Structure 1
Amino acid sequence: MRSGVATTIISRFRYRMSSARAVPVWALLALLSMPGTVQAQERKTVVASFTIMADMARQVAGEALDVVSIVPPGAEIHEYAPTPRDILKARRADLILYNGMGLERWFQRFYQGMDNVPTAVLTEGIEPIGLSEGPYQGRPNPHAWMTPGNGLIYVENIRQALVSLDPGQAETYNRNAKAYSERLETLDRELGDTFARIPDEQRTLATCEGAFSYLTRAYDFRERYLWAVNAEQEGTPQQVRRLIDHLNADDIPVTFCESTVNDRAMKQVTAETGARYGGTLYVDSLTRSDGVVPDYETLLRYNALQIQKGFDLE
């Protein structure tokens, strides 16, 4: 109840009760139930596991739903430790969206006791690429959103989940999903044109985390990295030596690192091989609204341009 509106209504009621013609109780109850006064219908709330999923859901929801992220901008997603406020936020949600493929390692424990809140896994229908090494070898690489082509599958899964949650707004969700999908299809072609400028013999992407497997497969890159997925051990001497050997053997001219991890090991690799350091790429998190990648489309476009610049092709 909106306290200001309620106080005004009750004040008017008391005034009229003191007059010769009192307001009947049924009339006050009718007034309290009018749309736009006290009991205006609240929008449903969707909670997404992290910022990229939340942004995609907002594009489909438009103004029809409230969408919030559990993991804040700039935070590392794999080993995130949910706070009591996060748990309360999820318990009050009407729907929880998460990536799946083992990305949110904390999610199953986090979701315990929330069986009454429906969930949707947004990677449903995506062909997984397996991790080839590290403590999670054999499991899916979870970073499937890193290509617009897979982004289209995320959008469709979100659309279905929102229509199921809120069928009265189905037309809104269908329309927004269609427009969003068309933008991602255009972005896919744009990224293909950007990467086509990099000569085939140079097209190896060297990064800290092996988070670009879906991108490298989609746009015909080879992939090298320090570690396969963010885990307990990152930037070990063995990982550093192996990547140095790869860069020297393949004559890889540039390296990159991701925004949510320490780039110290990669800068050591870069210095010892004579390669250029191409800067920061974004994978697991958006920035805040005033940052360089405030939304998913901007993240994909920004990464493509950073990679292009890294290969000295401005």
Structure 2
Amino acid sequence: MRNTPSRLTRTWLATISVLALAVTGCTARTAADPADSRPVVLTTFTVLADIAGNVAGDKLRVESITKAGAEIHGYEPTPADIRKATQAKLILDNGLNLEAWFTKFVAELDVPHAVVSEGVQPVDIAEDAYRGKPNPHAWMSPLNVRTYADNMAKAFAKLAPAHAAEFTANAEKYKQQLTEVQQRLTGALGKLPKEQRALVTCEGAFSYLARDAGLTERYLWAVNAEQQATPQQIAGAIEFVRQNKVPAVFCESTVSDAPMQQVVSATGARFGGVLYVDSLSEAGGPVPTYLDLIRHDVDTIVAGLTK
């Protein structure tokens, strides 16, 4: 969520018009699979790509700009990303200020795009430089992702009207799975004793999950914009963990857990494990799909807080 364009950002903005001319008249095929002529839907990160793939079925080709394991907030698009985007027929982004870099990107492209979080009731960030702005991690509530699925089905219907009924049916089927995961989330975390209902993480990415499960949220930094936590942020987390006798703390997969390990050392709390938010893992990893991501995080949080 950086607002000042970097040198690389200015460079790729300047090259967009040239790349657009270069691909004029091209289909949505890419070098990865030139035989696949389905319309390309491009998402900003892997979580959205997985959700979109469930709604699209086999009628569209869904790809992600960022790769598995990438940190989404400060991502810098490459010329290859721009080339891929000019060949897409639809771009999906999360919105809620998540992809400031992509907002500039889309503005320079003649490609339709849809904001998949439209209609979600945002939770505001409570502190730091982003105080009062919407927390962008709305997908951490499966109930919100039901809205994502509906928005995607509508966007896909405009792109491929002949398959509109199929997109709607796919979205409804996926929403049933989301409801089941939501029930697992609230059921498992709802059983935690009151004194253990605190979730301490590196980034403030769990506001929606914490709200759904009735957990008190505490974090080192509000949004992944800094490489390291400040001494004040670490001290605040240490005080919170001590005062509330929090048994375990956690950190996300896309950032270093070194600052949180300082909290562990100072308080005696356990490091409860790695949580996934901004990115899925590779296919053979622990969270190859969004549903796996939520299940993994719930299981990790429950195990950490109840041992």
Q: TM-score, normalised by structure 2?
A: 0.87
Q: In the alignment, does 2:114 pair up with 1:120?
A: yes
Aligned to 1:212: 206
Structure having the higher Rg: 1
Q: In the alignment, does 2:249 pair up with 1:255?
A: yes
Q: TM-score, normalised by structure 1?
A: 0.85
Structure 1 portions without partners, runs of 5+:
1-39
Q: In the alignment, does 2:193 pair up with 1:202?
A: no
Q: In the alignment, does 2:207 pair up with 1:223?
A: no
What is the total number of aligned residue pairs between the two structures? 273
Alpha-carbon distance between aligned partners in 2 of 1:112 and 1:182, rounded to the nearest angstrom? 35
Whether contact under 8 Å (2:47, 2:280) holds in the other structure is yes
Per the TM alignment, residue 155 of structure 1 is displaced from its structure 2 partner at its CA by: 0.6
Query: CA offsets, 1:107-138, max 9 Å, x none?
Result: 12222421x21000011001111111122222
The partner residue of 1:76 within 71, 77, 87 is 71
Per the TM alignment, residue 235 of structure 1 is displaced from its structure 2 partner at its CA by: 1.1
Structure 2 portions without partners, runs of 5+:
1-34
Aligned to 2:267: 273
Alpha-carbon distance between aligned partners in 2 of 1:202 and 1:41, rounded to the nearest angstrom? 51
SS of residue in 2 equivalent to 1:68 = strand
Q: In the alignment, does 2:103 pair up with 1:108?
A: yes
Alpha-carbon distance between aligned partners in 2 of 1:258 and 1:189, rounded to the nearest angstrom? 23
Alpha-carbon distance between aligned partners in 2 of 1:171 and 1:41, rounded to the nearest angstrom? 22
Aligned to 1:6: none
Structure 1 runs of 4+ off > 2 angstroms?
A: none
Higher relative contact order (CA closer than 8 Å, sequence separation 6+): 2
Alpha-carbon distance between aligned partners in 2 of 1:267 and 1:232, rounded to the nearest angstrom? 17
Q: In the alignment, does 2:290 pair up with 1:296?
A: yes
Alpha-carbon distance between aligned partners in 1 of 2:224 and 2:64, rounded to the nearest angstrom? 20
Q: In the alignment, does 2:90 pair up with 1:95?
A: yes
SS of residue in 1 equivalent to 2:129 = coil
Whether contact under 8 Å (1:267, 1:277) holds in the other structure is yes
Whether contact under 8 Å (1:130, 1:138) holds in the other structure is yes
- Aligned AA (2:52): A
The partner residue of 1:138 within 124, 127, 132 is 132
Whether contact under 8 Å (2:140, 2:277) holds in the other structure is yes
Aligned to 1:33: none
Alpha-carbon distance between aligned partners in 2 of 1:132 and 1:75, rounded to the nearest angstrom? 25
Per the TM alignment, residue 165 of structure 1 is displaced from its structure 2 partner at its CA by: 1.0
Query: CA offsets, 1:280-304, max 9 Å, x none?
Result: 0000000111110000000000000
Q: 1:54 to 1:249 in 2, by over 3 A?
A: same
SS of residue in 2 equivalent to 1:311 = helix
Q: Alignment identity in percent?
A: 48
SS of residue in 2 equivalent to 1:192 = helix
